[in-house]
Structure 1
């Protein structure tokens, strides 16, 4: 009996002990979640309600490789991938896993055909839902009021709205504030249902309100009947930052990936006050992990960490094209996913 109790006590001690690998992480601790295979150039990282992680890829200018959608487990194990059909491979092409439907289909934005696609991850079936007019560059997407899908346009100063059941995007909001300089236009978008507004990141500002090398975080309220209100600047970036995709923490803080020269993440309060940057020193992207920040494009919450798509857009360094895991010390707010979120 004594031997049995001793053995049981040893088991309990072993079960409650904290292994070295599970030691508490400090804020901004950065690790490699996974490398991104060819064709590389990952963009937004989407954490699905099924518990898995997805990202799409872009390609080098002139490359004829089709884009892919990759799927990982929550611990970064690559499970499978799908080739995106119907792309114009003789043009610049890429796919953003921008969101998902309520039933779990991925919502994809494809640039060469200016299309909204869905991908059923159970069957591998792609479906084209809508096509944007010439000149549009669909970039990020958020569900919003009325179960409509709202899409930013990297090439024009427009927020598009795709109503439920429609195959025709509507020009919902237009503003000089969304006209980017030197082709660096509107990037991330997230609806905050409690505040009835969208947060929107802008790569560069060219409406004369600031230097055209600076980017911004905007607030766009939604009024009665789903009509857009007046756009408001919450935060202005430093020159060359190129604010891109972002995540929202439980505290309301916004974590923005800076895809420009800084190679940093910036933390902002809900009202746009800048409270921190990581790494402290810009440019080199030295984050303490084996892979430095090299065009970090998004910050998507997974637990108390954000997953950052490292695109290496300028250098094209395949060894830097990865998903990085950055601990921020607070849980995130899941993207808005209404019951009518279907395509």
Structure 2
């Protein structure tokens, strides 16, 4: 088992080095496209090619105007947040203030009901709030670097044998304005109180400890928090080295209820839930560039979109899609392009899926 884990880690490190080595990218955005005609099921169109530093991660869609937000996760670069209009015209670029170039940049992106944008920044392990109306950046939340739990009892710790820094990766709001944030390194789901501040540990599990741990999250129609572990390292032949979708119901006092295993999937990154309850997962394995669709009632993967030929031969091939968000009956996708040497593949794509998304929570009045 140790050798196989080492192999996965080496692959991840090589991929990171390759992605960081790309030094050229087009300075233009893709030509705007008309988006008023819904896509057919499984059909893809290009929305935008992202500018330097490229490598988009995180995606959010404004429910009012259909505009789109994403950010650069490019290593050792500025942490830029981009805002496009609904047709893919770049409106504004925000470079996160006080970002120190690091192993990663921007990860998750989410919105509140007052038009503010929240970007998770690896540097400083923080959530930065951007007010587009004023351009002001503020640190909304911070995430602690936890020691391993093997170091002793009685202190907050991470349930992992390896001590790694916090990596806030995905954020989603609850109806009361509490923000839940997955930690890709520390096998932890954090809770940020409405209004921000230091994040609190909400749920941890040693089964989540991994090279790539907790990732995309969303509340379902029953109020359960659904999330994915990108690479499971639990000694279970059905799920080891694969992605696993879980969910947790919230007790009346907001504490976590029992953990439920929903499905075993590919090495998934983000997560979005359709109005039917189906779960859509971009697969971050660079050898399986698809969007998997899960029926949570059966735990089955019911579709891999788009067709394999389409993923490979289209104008912008699918390349480690990282994050998804619904707009109409489509998914908007950040085409992360982890291993690409053609920066044209750092792009925002749209995929028709034939249903609308389950509404996200957009709290208002967060101070």
TM-score, normalising length from structure 2? 0.80
2:343 counterpart residue number: 318
Q: Which residue of 2 aligns with 1:266?
A: 292
Distance 2:322 2:311 in 1: 13
1:128-187: CA deviations, max 9, x gaps?
12221122100001112542110000001100001123411101100123222xx21111
Aligned to 1:40: 54
Aligned mates of 2:38, 2:199 — CA distance in 1: 46
1:116 maps to 127
Q: How does 1:224-303 map to 2 (within 5 A)?
A: 224-237=252-265, 241-260=266-285, 261-271=287-297, 272-281=299-308, 285-286=311-312, 289-303=314-328
SS at match of 1:103: coil
Match of 2:182 among 152, 156, 161: 152
After TM superposition, give the deviation of residue 332 of structure 1 in Å: 1.4
In the TM superposition, what is the alpha-carbon distance from 1:325 to its structure 2 partner? Answer: 0.8
Note the aligned Cα RMSD (angstroms): 2.1
Matches within 5 A, 1:166-185: 166-180=196-210, 183-185=211-213
SS of 2:87's equivalent in the other structure is: coil
Deviation at 1:93, TM superposition (A): 3.2
Superposed counterparts of 1:1-343, under 5 Å: 25-51=39-65, 52-60=67-75, 63=76, 65-89=77-101, 91-134=102-145, 135-144=165-174, 146-180=176-210, 183-192=211-220, 194-209=221-236, 210-237=238-265, 241-260=266-285, 261-271=287-297, 272-281=299-308, 285-286=311-312, 289-339=314-364, 342-343=366-367
SS in 1 for 2:198: coil
Q: Distance in 1 between matches of 2:353 and 2:247?
A: 23
Q: TM-score, normalised by structure 1?
A: 0.85
Offset of 1:22 from its aligned partner? 7.4
Q: 1:21 and 1:337, CA in 2 relative to 1: closer, same or farther beyond 3 A?
A: closer
Structure 2: distance between partners of 1:252 and 1:43: 24
Q: What are the ranges of 5 or more consecutive residues in structure 2 without an aligned counterpart?
A: 1-33, 146-164
Q: CA deviation at 1:67?
A: 1.6
Q: Is the 8 A contact 1:145 1:226 kept in 2?
A: no
**CA distance in 1 between partners of 2:352 and 2:293 (Å):** 13
| Structure 1: gaps of 5 or more residues | 1-19
Compute the displacement of 1:24 (Å).
6.5
